A and B are shown apart, each in its own frame.
Chain A
């Protein structure tokens, strides 16, 4: 996921996270890079294709995993959950935001939006060395 975010810098990347819930914690096993389908500048905006999400869900089922979250990058700014993120979110999934500064990984946060898209709670995120 970090490699994907580095690769699309200075534009935003996006993708899905496949994994399992183990002892109450969501554990990401596979990051599925997707194409940013936003038609304007992608430096500050991403759009996921529904068809890509549908395919990711099918891939998860095939591997015995679950689609548990979505990730995207924020180039040259912090990994906050912006108003744009919130208004276009879905409360079913965790949203990991990866901060990439000057082309390199800086930090990441995970957010869980509420059903009314009015706020997102920060989740505990353990990403180790963030090597991929």
Chain B
């Protein structure tokens, strides 16, 4: 069982819940199940090509899955998956 932490602005797509639990053995499977059960959420996380949007990062516990085994990262009981956006900016133009 994987526990997914839902960022505040996306809770409206999961019946207002702040966490969702799904049966999954990998992070990719967990995200697939989450967005299959809550289809409106899918376009906020994935592009039309089915890839995670450029600003979306996924963490398992405190680790970015890009430094683990990406969507094949295995989930153990009690693991927590978080969705974290990349954010930067500044007055610099161009």
Binding site for B on A (CB under 8 A): 12, 38, 44-48, 50-51, 53-54, 57, 60-61, 66-68, 70, 72, 74-75, 77, 80, 82-86, 88-90, 92-93, 95, 115
Contacts and interface: CB of A to CB of B under 8 A. Distances in A.
Given A50-B59, A53-B85, A61-B18, A85 B9 contact: no
> Chain B interface: which size bin?
20 to 34
Interface stretch (B23-31, B71-79, B86-94): B86-94
A74 B92 CA distance: 9
B84 A50 contact: yes
B59 A45 contact: no
Q: At the interface, is chain B mostly helix, strand, loop or mixed?
A: mixed
Q: At the interface, is chain A mostly helix, strand, loop or mixed?
A: mixed
A93 B88 CA distance: 13
A75 B88 CA distance: 16
A46 to B, nearest CB: 5
Contacts of A82: 89-93
